[in-house]
């Protein structure tokens, strides 16, 4: 079964959100195994480099409409950067990496240097305006030195939890991203574009930059992801979770928030986890429709289910405000 075929997910949309989440996880696991084979002979240093997938691939949530995000981590940078890897891929696979992967604006994988205090790993593309620690925290190894990836995760956790202006600014930015996502969940708009309506109950998806709308990705999934990040930071700063332990957490959002809850480091997650799974399934329905049409799509959803799960996410956010780490 091809993981990239149109409509492959359609047969799964009748499953419960929990069952669907499990199937998507398995599909993503299989995809990573295929990537490990594809990149087994990639020209990277096995002692200092590691090639990772991040984004929805790292979280095991990717629908085939999204390109795989791939990044090269290194503890020993060279002037060549990712050029040898890009050249190898073009020669061995007969294609540029940008055709199949979500890569940097240069057309090559982003390269991040582990251990460089002047280039925080929590920044995407070394841009201090793009604070996305989960790009490393929720990444998975494809080939290379797993110790480098582990060190990278510890570095990110240190960056976002430490005292000092940089750490404070990072936490403020993550909190701001959560506020924007929650506003989207409440209003149905993101960056002045509609992402869903409740009358009629429709989710909107369009990747055209002029009409960019990604539905429940922003309004349903991102709030839970950012709340998980903030709960992790809070626990570390309170001395209740070590950076070593946090660096070994699963990259799955559901697994991460469950791990926090089991340690008494998060409010009750019994409602927010089903909500997250429901929003992911509905988001994939929109992506699947878009993959077939390549134009703006509007996908109906059940208003009663939406109200229930939106309420769960909002309620979890409210619980966080009074939750005390003990």
CATH number for 251: 1.20.120
Is the dihedral angle over the CA atoms 186, 213, 26, 156 positive or is it negative? negative
Q: 71 or 325: whose pLDDT is higher?
A: 71
- The predicted model gives 232-256 an average pLDDT of 97
Residue 83 clears pLDDT 70, i.e. is over it? yes
Could you give the CA distance from residue 125 to residue 129 in angstroms, rounded to a whole number?
Answer: 10
Q: What is the percentage of the chain residues whose pLDDT exceeds 70?
A: 97
Judgement on whether residues 317 and 170 belong to the same structural domain of the protein: yes
Structural tokens at position 183: 């506003």
Judgement on whether residues 208 and 255 belong to the same structural domain of the protein: yes
The enclosing domain of 51 has a CATH number of 3.30.460
Confirm whether 4 is domain-assigned: no
Which of these three, 161, 187, 217, is where a domain ends? 161
The secondary structure of residue 94, as a DSSP letter, is S
Judgement on whether residues 154 and 232 belong to the same structural domain of the protein: no
Q: pLDDT tens-digit profile of 148-165?
A: 999 999 999 999 999 999
Tell how far CA 267 is from the center of its chain.
22
**What residues make up the domain containing 215?**
165-322
Helices (H), 94-164: 134-137, 146-161
Residue 4 clears pLDDT 60, i.e. is over it? no
Confirm whether 122 is domain-assigned: yes
Which range (105-109, 169-173, 174-178, 289-293) has the least confidence? 105-109
Confirm whether 190 is domain-assigned: yes
Judgement on whether residues 172 and 155 belong to the same structural domain of the protein: no
Judgement on whether residues 150 and 266 belong to the same structural domain of the protein: no
Q: 3 or 274: whose pLDDT is higher?
A: 274
Q: What is the percentage of the chain residues whose pLDDT exceeds 90?
A: 84
- The predicted model gives 19-31 an average pLDDT of 95
pLDDT band at 7, cuts 50/70/90? Answer: low
37-43: long-range contacts at Cβ-Cβ below 8 A with a sequence spacing of 24 or more? 38/93, 39/142, 39/143, 40/143, 41/92, 42/85, 42/88, 42/89, 42/143, 43/84, 43/85, 43/88
Judgement on whether residues 145 and 235 belong to the same structural domain of the protein: no
Could you give the CA distance from residue 163 to residue 160 in angstroms, rounded to a whole number?
Answer: 9
Q: 140 or 105: whose pLDDT is higher?
A: 140
Q: Which residue is it, tokens 């240093």?
A: 45
Residue 6 clears pLDDT 50, i.e. is over it? no
Judgement on whether residues 79 and 218 belong to the same structural domain of the protein: no
Confirm whether 2 is domain-assigned: no
pLDDT computed for residue 296 by the predictor: 92
Q: Which residue is it, tokens 């409010």?
A: 267
When the pLDDT of each residue in the chain is averaged and rounded to a whole number, the result is 93
Whether the bond between 61 and the residue before it is cis, its omega within 30 degrees of 0, is no
pLDDT computed for residue 8 by the predictor: 64
The secondary structure of residue 113, as a DSSP letter, is E
Judgement on whether residues 194 and 317 belong to the same structural domain of the protein: yes
Residue 14 clears pLDDT 70, i.e. is over it? yes
Which of these three, 161, 187, 220, is where a domain ends? 161
pLDDT computed for residue 150 by the predictor: 97
pLDDT band at 5, cuts 50/70/90? Answer: very low
DSSP-assigned beta bridge partners for residue 102:
69
Judgement on whether residues 288 and 146 belong to the same structural domain of the protein: no
Judgement on whether residues 179 and 265 belong to the same structural domain of the protein: yes
- The predicted model gives 202-215 an average pLDDT of 94
What does each C-alpha distance from 154 to 19, 49, 71, 74, 77 come to in angstroms? 32, 16, 17, 14, 19
- The predicted model gives 110-127 an average pLDDT of 92
Confirm whether 179 is domain-assigned: yes
Judgement on whether residues 86 and 188 belong to the same structural domain of the protein: no
- The predicted model gives 267-295 an average pLDDT of 95
Which of these three, 128, 161, 194, is where a domain ends? 161
Judgement on whether residues 101 and 243 belong to the same structural domain of the protein: no
Domain count, the chain: 2
- Mapped onto helix, strand or coil, the DSSP state of residue 116 is coil
Q: Which residue is it, tokens 């799955």?
A: 252
CA 222-223-224 angle, 5° bins: 90
Whether the bond between 200 and the residue before it is cis, its omega within 30 degrees of 0, is yes
Confirm whether 1 is domain-assigned: no
- 287: CB partners within 8 A, 6+ apart: 63, 65, 66, 205
């Amino acid at each position: 079964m091809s993981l990239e075929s149109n409509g492959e997910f359609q047969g799964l949309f009748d499953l419960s959100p929990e069952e669907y989440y499990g199937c998507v996880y398995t599909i993503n696991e299989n995809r990573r195994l295929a990537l490990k084979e594809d990149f087994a002979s990639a020209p990277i240093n096995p002692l200092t480099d590691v090639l990772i997938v991040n984004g929805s691939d790292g979280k095991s949530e990717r629908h085939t409409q999204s390109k795989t995000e791939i990044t090269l981590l290194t503890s020993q940078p060279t002037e060549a950067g990712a050029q040898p890897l890009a050249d190898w891929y073009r020669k061995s696979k007969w294609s540029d990496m940008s055709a199949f992967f979500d890569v940097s604006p240069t057309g090559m994988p982003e390269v991040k240097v582990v251990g460089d205090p002047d280039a925080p790993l929590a920044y995407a593309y070394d841009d201090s305006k793009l604070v996305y620690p989960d790009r490393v925290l929720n990444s998975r190894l494809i080939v290379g030195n797993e110790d480098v990836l582990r060190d990278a995760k510890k570095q990110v956790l240190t960056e976002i939890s430490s005292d000092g202006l940089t750490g404070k600014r990072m936490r403020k930015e993550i909190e701001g991203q959560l506020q924007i996502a929650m506003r989207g969940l409440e209003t149905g708009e993101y960056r002045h574009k509609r992402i869903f309506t409740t009358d009629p109950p429709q989710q909107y998806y369009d990747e055209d930059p002029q009409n960019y709308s990604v539905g429940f990705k922003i309004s349903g999934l991102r709030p839970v992801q950012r709340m998980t990040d903030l709960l992790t930071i809070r626990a570390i700063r309170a001395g209740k979770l070590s950076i070593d332990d946090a660096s070994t957490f699963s990259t799955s959002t559901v697994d991460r928030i469950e791990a926090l809850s089991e340690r008494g480091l998060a409010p009750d997650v019994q409602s927010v986890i089903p909500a997250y799974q429901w929003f992911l399934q509905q988001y994939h329905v929109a992506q699947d429709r878009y993959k077939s049409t390549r134009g703006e799509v509007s996908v109906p959803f059940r208003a009663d289910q939406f109200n229930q799960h939106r309420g769960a996410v909002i309620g979890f956010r409210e619980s966080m405000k009074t939750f005390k780490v003990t």
